[in-house]
Structure 1
Amino acid sequence: MSTPADRLLHFLTTFHLPQSLPAGVEALSPFREPPVRELLTRFAEKFYADSQPRVALLGINPGRLGMGRTGVAFTDPAALAEHCGIANDLPRGRPETSTQFVYKVVNAMGGPAEFYQHFYVGSLYPLVLLKNGLNYNYYDSPALVKALWPDIQLSLRQQVAELGLRRDVAVSLGKRNGEYFKRLNAELGLFAEIIVLDHPRYLMQYRSRDEAANVAHYVEALGGLIRE
């Protein structure tokens, strides 16, 4: 019998590339590259090996320097090694700000083993998007939203069905993302409730002075979703 880890790997490594995108925009599937797939496999087998129903925490789409290199959402190479215990030879570079915030929350909630027992962290659209070589978000242009909407619907349906996610609640990482998440949910009827939190990057970039309070807010919001 396949595990959620197996199904996550299958979902990410087989999700199809779009056929037509607006000019200058491209989609990449880093999970098909052997080094990324190996790290993703090690992470999934370590933290998602059981069939515990998890709450989905879904962001926008992966960036090329975080999940695009490690295969793990909101996790750069340094965090993958230092917090998750998965050694890797990837260049460290500048720490990803979203990663820094997320792992402050993860560690405040007992560390990765405890956190990932209750939560699945992913993206509404699972592939890296670039425009002229730079990170791009699926909602950055109406034309891109229109082009990707069927694929985003498919992505969300597959993640719910294949990963055994809880249906009573899901969390949007980002307020603008939350607008689209709620629209998707109205169309698909997958979750009873969508909770919207500020995006980690926004909090680190514009509200860094309130970092402790921001982390505490996340911990309070997510902690209230954990089933005993």
Structure 2
Amino acid sequence: MTYAEKILKYYDELKLPDNLPEGVEILYPFAEEEVQRVTRLFYNQFFNDSNKRAFLIGINPGRFGGGATGIPFTDPIRLEEVLSIENDFDKKSELSSRFIYQMIEAVGGSELFYKHFYFTSVSPLGFVKDGKNLNYYDIPELQRAIEPYMVSEIRKQIAFGAHPTAFSLGKGKNISYLKYLNKKYELFEQIVPLPHPRWVMQYRLKRLDEFIDQYVQAFAPIINEAN
């Protein structure tokens, strides 16, 4: 099976976590026909091979990015304007997606980037509460309840073919929890933290080029190793 086939099979079979705290709802876009259509176009275009890839691990999908399109860190605007995949989604911009696709361009463009890297999240599905995005770590009860689920889903994706070095998109609670999981479950040889895209765009926009360069420098060894 190609990497694309493995990813699409995974999402086709993805189950919802149970035991969620009261008031917490799941973002599950994969039942929608438009999500199924664009994810197949995307993965078949950029992952139609058997290359191992380094995992870039976010927190969990948000309402306007992966929670809408089914493609991590890819909002409907970037999907259409950068990746040339026309779509019927509400064209809302997502801060993290804006950063990611500027970074991808700096690395060398989507074709080169996705040949070496795979976006996922600690939780493959996002959460909302009271109509707002919710991170898996915002409610300790949620984090505890879905730990087995999250570890199981990460392992299923590692089986696609993962580079031993992974990257955490987030230097705070996300890398802290990933290091805990990695020590307990031995998922990767190492996990390297990078500043979260949304944090950069929201609080450090004037230093955008500096943070993009951090990503470029961090990813260069992965790309060079494969060439």
One fold, TM greater than 0.5? Answer: yes
Report how far residue 4 of structure 1 moved: 1.4
Tell me the percent identity.
42
Cα deviation for residue 18 of structure 1 reads: 1.9
What code does the residue aligned with 1:74 have? F
Question: Can you list the C-alpha shifts for 1:121-162, whole angstroms capped at 9, x where unaligned?
Answer: 11111012111221101111110111110011101111101x
Match of 1:150 in 2: 148
Quick check: 1:41 aligned with 2:40?
yes
* 1:202 alignment counterpart: 199
1:184 lines up with 2:212 in the alignment: no
Structure 2 equivalent of residue 113 of structure 1: 111
Q: Is the 8 A contact 1:125 1:138 kept in 2?
A: yes
After TM superposition, the runs of 4+ consecutive aligned structure 1 residues lying more than 6 A away are: none
In structure 1, distance between residues paired with 2:10 and 2:181: 19
Amino acid at match of 1:96: E
1:171 matched residue in structure 2: 167
Matched, 1:224 2:221: yes
**Partner SS for 1:165:** coil
Q: CA deviation at 1:225?
A: 2.3
Find the aligned partners of 1:11 and 1:129 in 2 and give their Cα distance: 19
| In 2: Cα distance, 1:131 partner to 1:209 partner | 32
Q: What is the TM-score normalised by the length of structure 1? A: 0.95
Partner of 2:126: 128
Q: Distance in 1 between matches of 2:27 and 2:69?
A: 14
Shift of 1:89: 2.4
Amino acid across the alignment from 1:29: Y
2: CA distance, partners of 1:14 / 1:127: 13
The residue aligned with 2:190 is 193
1:76 positional shift: 0.5
* Cα distance in 2 for residues equivalent to 1:90 and 1:10: 23
Task: Note if contact 2:167-2:191 (Cα within 8 Å) is conserved in structure 1.
Answer: yes
Instruction: Supply the AA of the counterpart residue of 2:75.
Output: D
What TM-score does the superposition give when structure 2 sets the normalisation length?
Answer: 0.95
CA contact (8 A) 1:13 1:29 kept: no
CA contact (8 A) 1:57 1:170 kept: yes
Give the 3-state SS of the residue equivalent to 2:163 in structure 1: strand
Structure 2 runs not aligned, ≥5 long: none
5+ residue gaps, structure 1 = none
CA distance in 1, matches of 2:162, 2:112: 17
Cα distance in 2 for partners of 1:58, 1:214 equals 17
1:72 maps to 71
Q: Aligned letter for 2:120?
A: G
Measured in 1, the distance between the counterparts of 2:130 and 2:193 equals 30
CA RMSD for the aligned pairs?
1.1
